[in-house]
Structure 1
Amino acid sequence: MSTLTIGRQIKAWYGATVSKVANETVRALASQWQHVRAERDPLVEDFWHKPQSGIADYALLLQKGRRDYTYLHHGKALQEKVGFGMQGKTLSELRSPLQRRMREVFDRCTSEFEPAYFQCFDEYERNGTLWGYLCLPVMTSSDIDAMSIVIYCHFIEDKPSIFRSLFDRSGSAVIVTEPIPNQFGQIEDAWIVSRNEKGERYCRNHSTGAFEVSLRATSLFSIPNVWETVVETAPRGVTHTQIVPRDPSKPNLHISAEMIDERLVLRISEVEQVSATVMMD
């Protein structure tokens, strides 16, 4: 019932702590293991007799030997992720700097016969996906005095709801647009594809007050010097522009613009004092 950081690459949990993991499948499998364990030693067949295809594709089955672990199953989806298969091979044959630390988790899992869960980044992917691994110690069968580990793997993805919340609650107005290039590749306009609540006021037409679908039709970005200063230079890197309205009753603005995944993203904040870059009526 503890948490342990092994080196800097792996963080592991043991015992009852595993049931606190956020992933629903992990919690369900850990609960199933605990339920069986209350009556007898769990067996491979308890989890492997008719496994769901989605689980089997993301599962490993290792048999513990005297000095090593042998891969009896390497899920199809996992093989596609790493580009190779370990079925029939031993843990010692896994060419990974994490191998020794994984072995430490497996050894504790089997020696104490308690579930383990660990997380680490996938070294085989360029973007470094974070993965979680639930390790369930089981007896190979009721007739064989040997131990195995059923391992369910899942990747820990970015939750869109988190980023949506940050987007909606941002202290700045945020406008996401799809650039419309001219024949020379310069941005001549941009479709407004998303905006947060604070961004709505900057997406209106000056005359009608209606929401616009193109950036250049809005009150703020219809001003030529604002467009040239803020938008046209964005493809070269992040731009920061300060705007002082001629009307002192209107707030000073700080606008940043940058290209993110081929989208032009604008952030607009009201500021008290600025060194004027652009004057605005």
Structure 2
Amino acid sequence: MTAAVTGTGTLVLAGTPIGEIADAPPRLAAELAAADIVAAEDTRRLRRLTQALGVQPGGRVVSYFEGNEAARTPELVEALAGGARVLLVTDAGMPSVSDPGYRLVAAAVEQDIRVTAVPGPSAVLTALALSGLPVDRFCFEGFLPRKAGERMGKLREVAAERRTLVYFEAPHRLADTLAAMAEAFGAERRAAVCRELTKTYEEVRRGPLAELAAWAAEGVRGEITVVVAGAPEVTEEIGPEELVRQVRVREEAGERRKEAIAAVAVSAGVPKREVFDAVVAAKNAEKAEKPGKPKA
């Protein structure tokens, strides 16, 4: 472990409301008033928050967002090493969770600087609790790639994941994302779209992925968290003949063979290679059964 820095201060990660101001943790106002430096993802939003809480930051306010965190981190670590108390807040929820913060935390830990937190609201946990899906085991996947091919690749990586999946998504990409999930995970996989959590127009829409994709195609607004059920547990082994049959049914319905194999692998809970090998073996067997051309 790195030797402790003499006179080090403390980095405080503070959760902020994801909608309802009254959800602000009680310690937040005290930390805002006591911090030597408040690093905020958006200083304008911070100003609105402090006004709502009736508190005035006691120290210097600086911006800390995706565009400047690499350059500002050394400055904040230097201040921490000198004994400052630095409070990090993002626009909503906990810092570091799909928001700026990880880089600063890692740098502070490297210098053996104390890091603590003011626990607060979390869109991830709130959506999980409201989804109606299993919450005993889950994984957070953050935002998916914007490009369709990269997005599908990421979804197929977790198609057989048994844990409940949680994603953030922009409203204008929601319909495409849900349609891609329906293709990668299966149209009937259960999911919940949680919109504007804790706000005036809060809505939780639950149903199969294909149904949710059709709903979202009409247009959705607000901040979105998507919760998707994990892959179903396969209770009985499916033989190669049945795997081939399911692939053929999907091909006859218009799916390309590659996508059909991937979908069947997910539904059957087996590796894609096993389905691919079954399809190839069936094809070779059919060729062997066909009579050869008569020789001239």
Confirm or deny a common fold (TM above 0.5): no
Higher relative contact order by CA 8 Å / sep ≥ 6: 1 or 2?
2
The structure with more radius of gyration: 1
> TM-score with structure 2 length normalisation?
0.20
Relative to its length, the structure with more strand (as a share) is 1
Per the normalisation by structure 1, the TM-score is: 0.21
